[in-house]
A and B are shown apart, each in its own frame.
Chain A
Amino acid sequence: MVKKMKEHNDELDCSGMNCPLPILKTKMKIDTMDNGDVLRVIATDPGACNDMPAWTSRVGHELVESCEEGDKFVFYIRKGE
């Protein structure tokens, strides 16, 4: 089954990175994007599964969806105001 990828404006691959890098890189990337744009982030650190929702809700971004694809964790984040 081919899973249709959600729409997104940009993508960031944090595979192989450990805390704090996935959040640090995501923040740097999202800072360059427009409000309302969606960033697709790929991570392999299980720590990201708890930290990504905690971080987005704290800073006002929207975690549109998070899922596992094989051994990777994928997050869709819509940039907040």
Chain B
Amino acid sequence: MLSSFTATELFEAIESDDDFVLLDVRNEDDYSNFSVEGPNEIEMLNIPYFDFIENPESSVEKVPSGKPLRIVCAKEGSSEFVASVMTEFGRENVSHLEGGIISWGNVLVSKRVNSEDNSYEMWQFNRPGKASCSYGIVYEGEMFLFDPSRNLEFYQQFAESRGAEISHTFETHLQADYISGSPLIAEATGATFVAHDGDYSSGIHEYRSIIDGESFEFSNEGGPSTLCTHSPGHTPGSTSYVIDEKFLISGDTVFLVSVGRPDLGKQVVEWAKTLYATLKERITILPDSLIVLPGHYTDWSIEADSEMRIMNNFGSVKEYNEQIYGIDDVDEFVSYIQSNMREQPEIYDQIRKVNSGHLTPCNDEQNVMDLGKNECAASSHN
């Protein structure tokens, strides 16, 4: 009987730096477009499954022996096939990923952000396949969600495990790099979908429109407040949420490394100027003690803390990104943005249309569209 592992188990193995070899048997193009990444380095190689069909013996020999072997493919069938070939050639401790690379792309890892003596729970849901984070706040049987992905089952099970019901699902902005789960979650749970007109008014989803400066409260008294701060630039409707005067759910406005790129809407100069004003007038005035909880990250080794949470206080974030926050001239800022610009993946236009409700591909197509790391930061780290 062939053994298998889940995407969550794969993440845990990477996180605890287990000694194993990861064999990706997809074709070379698919592999180079997107592969498994995590908080530690992985000993990984790519040998397409059809090499194991053509030349099983020489292909098996290319795989280092003596370590547990974990095999990944697109959907599961080919990794199972290669596992059986490896086993026929006497290899032991061979297993394959359940659900293939798509299950890796969708997997969410939950980490508690605040300490257990708080009256509420703040959670980070890290999606390593996308290098993105969504968030949840649980207070007395009620849960607020922020920027959820399409993994409805995960969020529902998580809420249930905390004895909570999802009452609100907030978007920080209209995402271009992944398909938002908010419409799906609102429909399945009856939660209120909260978003800003600047991004969503031309869409077809029903939502509760954000008023800048307003605060959302939990039904029971004494919960953390959710203060909405309009922070346009990355998109016109970008909104950051200050939670309990302690946390900043910053979406794609503030990252731990860099800021959200304002060129995705193709009006680079105008949006860059807007972002500059946002940073100067609305963001840098926030207290240094706020813990920044960003929508994305690019490098675990720089951005994760010792518990593998993507978070840091705003003072340190500003210091680290002095190159950006230190700019005191709008034109200089625009030049900085322009000099760091790069192509955006073609699929972003399509994803935006899905998120605004103008395009509704079937589930399989959405899975494919939703695979791949984000390209949302204004600069790659240098």
Contacts and interface: CB of A to CB of B under 8 A. Distances in A.
A56 B192 CA distance: 51
Interface string B74-98: 1101100100000000000000000
A55 B48 contact: yes
A58 B75 contact: no
B51 A58 contact: yes
Nearest to A27: B53
The contact size tier of chain B is 10 to 19
A18 B49 CA distance: 13
Interface in B37-60: 48-51, 53-54
Contact of A47 (B51, B53, B54, B75): B75
A51 B78 CA distance: 11
A55 B28 CA distance: 10
B78 A20 contact: yes
A59 interface: yes
Contacts of A59: 50, 54
Interface residues of A, number: 15
B78 A58 contact: no
B160 interface: no
Nearest to B30: A50
Interface in A1-45: 18-21, 23-24, 27
By secondary structure, the B interface counts as helix
Contact of A58 (B50, B73, B77): B50
Q: Looking at B27, B50, B73, B364, which has the most chain A CB atoms within 10 Å of its CB?
A: B50
Nearest to A59: B54
A67 interface: no
Contacts of A64: none
Contact of B77 (A19, A46, A54, A55): A19
A58 B53 contact: no
B215 to A, nearest CB: 47
A51 B29 CA distance: 9
A38 B366 CA distance: 35
13 contacts: A19-B49, A19-B78, A23-B49, A23-B50, A27-B50, A46-B364, A51-B27, A54-B27, A54-B50, A55-B50, A58-B50, A58-B51, A59-B50
